[in-house]
Amino acid sequence: MSTLNLLCLPYSGASAMVYSRWRRKLPAWVQLRPVELPGRGARMGEPLQTDMRALARQLAGEQRLAASTPYALLGHSLGALLAFELAHELQALGCPAPQALFACGTAAPTRREDYDGNDWREPKTDTQLIAELRELNGTPEEVLASAELMALTLPILRADFLLCGRYAYRQRPPLTCPLHVLGGDADRASEEQLLAWRRETRGAFSLHRFPGDHFFIHEHEDHVLTTLVGALEGYRLSA
């Protein structure tokens, strides 16, 4: 395996700056490929999606070519659920299984009780969304105080919450790829909720815990990237 596409599903808090740093720190054989969703960035003119299954199907069609060569999927928070659904949809299209699926910062699909039970199925108000951002501790106060930035951010965040809140787990045969779960010690997802990801694959499974809250992926960026590369290195060498 000369190179590997690392398809990164977006999350609230991800930015071009984050991915630019990651590209500088990752080895050359890992090709970082952020997946842009409808309604964001260059796709701003497209409607925001609030149906996880429909979104995963759309992305699978768009990413089919990238998945025809060795690839891995990575998602944090909402992105982890979307990466999981995307893996199943790519499989349904006959694509090879990913070299690995990295699910970061969220409970397993069967253990969403602390998420869906918080009335996430209905649109949240601006005030509620800003309160959630403060609780997650990943957005600077100067950003929260900017009406201009919030006007751009809140519609996307509202759609993200609806994607999570309306998510319905579907029983399917487990994936075959290795599944690596990363979580913060002080994040909302408990160890039991993280370990429940194990049942979603017949491949290898690992759980890595990091100090910090929901955005441990930023606080311990170097450690997180070292964990990713360490997991992928074995697949590269074996290939």
Share of the chain above pLDDT 70, in %: 94
Asked which of 9-18, 51-60, 104-113, 163-172 is least confident by mean pLDDT, the reply is: 9-18
The average pLDDT across 139-153 equals: 85
pLDDT at 102: 98
Confidence check: pLDDT of 2 > 60: yes
pLDDT-derived band at 191, boundaries 50, 70, 90: very high
Domain ranges of the chain: 4-118+171-238
The average pLDDT across 161-167 equals: 89
Alpha-carbon distance of 141 to 144, in angstroms, equals 5
More confident call, 44 vs 176: 176
* Residue 77 annotated to the active site: yes
Q: Chain-wide mean pLDDT for the chain?
A: 90
pLDDT at 133: 82
Share of the chain above pLDDT 90, in %: 66
Cβ-proximal residues to 48 (8 Å cutoff; 6+ apart), any chain: 38, 39, 155, 156, 159
Residue located via tokens 């039970």: 117
Q: Among 61, 87, 70, 60, which residue's Cα sits nearest to residue 203?
A: 87
Beta carbons of 214 and 188 less than 8 angstroms apart: yes
Cβ-proximal residues to 154 (8 Å cutoff; 6+ apart), any chain: 126, 129, 130
Which member of 2, 20, 77, 238 is catalytic?
A: 77
Beta carbons of 76 and 83 less than 8 angstroms apart: no
Class of domain 4-118+171-238: alpha beta
